[in-house]
A and B are shown apart, each in its own frame.
Chain A
């Protein structure tokens, strides 16, 4: 686990998390692990028939990456709530960067917002996360 900043005032930027390039092999592995039946994750021809240029990654890949970008700073059991708006599809060859920022200090934790972008800076997802701040509330 990374060390969270000593203080976490509003506006602190946490170290971003970058996924590997989400190529077809990784998309296939994730899709099979999730038993996702949607052909948009596997069948390029189907995708073109509905106006997509290629297969797209399951939305869960962005959600897992976003959650992990917080967990690696605050610990696996720190998460209380994640609310993710899925903005745009992720395509093979996209590499996602999750950039968390502390946006509020709550009674028992922190509110963190996180943008998920590809290497061109296109927004793919954005989320609001609530974490328990164990430095203020140890077990």
Chain B
């Protein structure tokens, strides 16, 4: 796998490391947590009942780890163009999460997802472009979570 130097981009389709995809301040809502909880079948009452969560020493229902993803909070879809991700040619291939402090319903998270890495791998008649978006979720002025999502996009090679 080759990391593209910042100064030697082969064409305009390759996203730019350091590009900020947008910014957000977003409340984490009970409705969101309940839908995630139900859809995946989480079997812990702390996710469902605020009283159970409080009895366990938490301020409210915890946000299930893995249930935050940067694009949920962006107001527009320009992140697609900036990352080169397209629904017919791209797949999410990796997610890495660094937990610093738990998040709960009612918390407000602030973030500015940014393209942190771009790699290109030649694969026969096409190139595979791997774009990683990193989001530092701040809550009450401190990092609560750092999320890295890597997308793979297929590009046909130019003749």
Contact = CB atoms under 8 A, between A and B. Distances in A.
Interface residues of A, number: 43
B67 A86 contact: no
Interface stretch (B2-10, B86-94, B108-116, B130-138): B86-94
- Tell me if B's interface is mostly helix, strand, loop or mixed: mixed
B72 interface: yes
A15 to B, nearest CB: 11
A79 B65 contact: yes
Interface stretch (B11-19, B34-42, B118-126): B34-42
A72 B37 CA distance: 13
Contacts of A61: 39-40
Contacts, number: 115
Contact of B66 (A33, A67, A77): A67
Contacts of B87: 38-40, 46
A20 interface: yes
Contact of B95 (A19, A33, A63, A76): A63
A50 B88 contact: yes
B25 to A, nearest CB: 15
B93 A85 contact: yes
25 contacts: A17-B43, A26-B40, A27-B39, A29-B35, A33-B32, A33-B35, A35-B71, A36-B69, A59-B92, A61-B39, A64-B65, A67-B64, A67-B65, A67-B66, A68-B40, A68-B65, A71-B44, A71-B64, A71-B65, A79-B97, A81-B98, A82-B65, A84-B94, A84-B95, A86-B94
